[in-house]
Structure 1
């Protein structure tokens, strides 16, 4: 086992910024208002399974279709870049249809375990030990569960301005991660 506290903290922060569960509170509140109840436990469990499964089989799936991890990481850096731009500027570049129910589909996927998360997991796997990434996933799922369970209270405590500030801070962190990810993998393509 190669447990490394620094890798766990770094991977946790990267996943926290990419998942952006704090920035998603307005979406969660809106879903709760439309459908009544959000299944926090089910959404968290399914998101965990999706992320851990993708961590182990994601690279094999890419190899099967002829894409190397470096190409995926560079493509992922663009996705993370645009997510960061959305967070920092408060704009929406991609708008999904509003779901009819707040079940596993809109919450666990793509809100928690979406394209940015999958890209980040493969990128992290190229740099860190798997056991550290798995711990980081579980740390983030605990945070996700708490936010899902107590989203209404969190919204009242932080207010719109507090949520906006947090979203912008994590947007800048995400932008820096995208630049680092791009720079670390672009040379391997040429």
Structure 2
């Protein structure tokens, strides 16, 4: 039980769905609707697939985990810049895909999450990690399903404050992910 709680809390911290609320609301405002079920399902499938085949898959592509983490950190960096400065960098031709990119990947099942899953695999049994992924997926679904309520609760000014605050936090996470992994590449 202790291992399950540890894995679940580590994944919860890395996924940081509560910290992503302003970004999710912002994306929903841009594209009109975020498909909660689709985003959660895709993110869950990515995390579970990565649990079992992540390192091998990246190895087949000739990509190491550190390079993957650096690439993911850059995506998170630009999402954070959007949140902080109120500019739009991410432009998608098909607005229906915002549920998959950037919400399911890289926001929920991003480089940090996937790298963490590989790290957890070294210490914990895959069944415990799988259970932690499923619990976090349920939490993600609940948050995604309630973004409209959360938007009404916070209001425009509250969302603006949250967006900029969590944008800075997301920027710090992206820089930390980048610096930790870039030095391992050289």
Q: TM-score, normalised by structure 2?
A: 0.75
1:154 & 1:40 partners in 2: Cα distance?
14
User: Which of 151, 159, 164 is matched with 1:163 structurally?
Assistant: 159
User: Which of 130, 135, 145 is matched with 2:141 structurally?
Assistant: 145
Instruction: Give the superposition deviation at 1:77.
Output: 2.1
Instruction: Give the superposition deviation at 1:134.
Output: 4.5
Q: Is the 8 A contact 2:51 2:118 kept in 1?
A: no
Greater mean deviation of Cα atoms: 67-76 or 178-187: 178-187
Q: Is the 8 A contact 2:21 2:147 kept in 1?
A: no
Aligned Cα root-mean-square deviation (Å): 3.2
| Cα distance change on mapping 1:77 and 1:30 into 2, 3 Å | closer
1:149 & 1:18 partners in 2: Cα distance?
13
Instruction: Give the superposition deviation at 1:75.
Output: 2.2
Greater mean deviation of Cα atoms: 40-49 or 164-173: 40-49
1:45 is aligned to 41
Structure 1 residues 51-70: aligned runs within 5 Å = 51-70=47-66
Instruction: Give the superposition deviation at 1:171.
Output: 1.8
| Cα distance change on mapping 1:166 and 1:140 into 2, 3 Å | farther
1:141 & 1:188 partners in 2: Cα distance?
30
1:124 is aligned to 116
| Cα distance change on mapping 1:9 and 1:87 into 2, 3 Å | farther
User: Which of 83, 89, 102 is matched with 1:87 structurally?
Assistant: 83
| Cα distance change on mapping 1:133 and 1:170 into 2, 3 Å | farther
Number of paired residues?
Answer: 181
Instruction: Give the superposition deviation at 1:70.
Output: 1.4
Instruction: Give the superposition deviation at 1:11.
Output: 3.0
| Cα distance change on mapping 1:93 and 1:12 into 2, 3 Å | same
1:173 & 1:136 partners in 2: Cα distance?
24
2:15 equivalent to 1:20: no
| Cα distance change on mapping 1:173 and 1:70 into 2, 3 Å | same
Instruction: Give the superposition deviation at 1:189.
Output: 1.6
1:18 & 1:179 partners in 2: Cα distance?
20
2:42 & 2:61 partners in 1: Cα distance?
25
Q: TM-score, normalised by structure 1?
A: 0.74
Look up the SS of the partner of 1:148 in the other structure.
Answer: helix
1:76 & 1:42 partners in 2: Cα distance?
21
Instruction: Give the superposition deviation at 1:63.
Output: 0.6
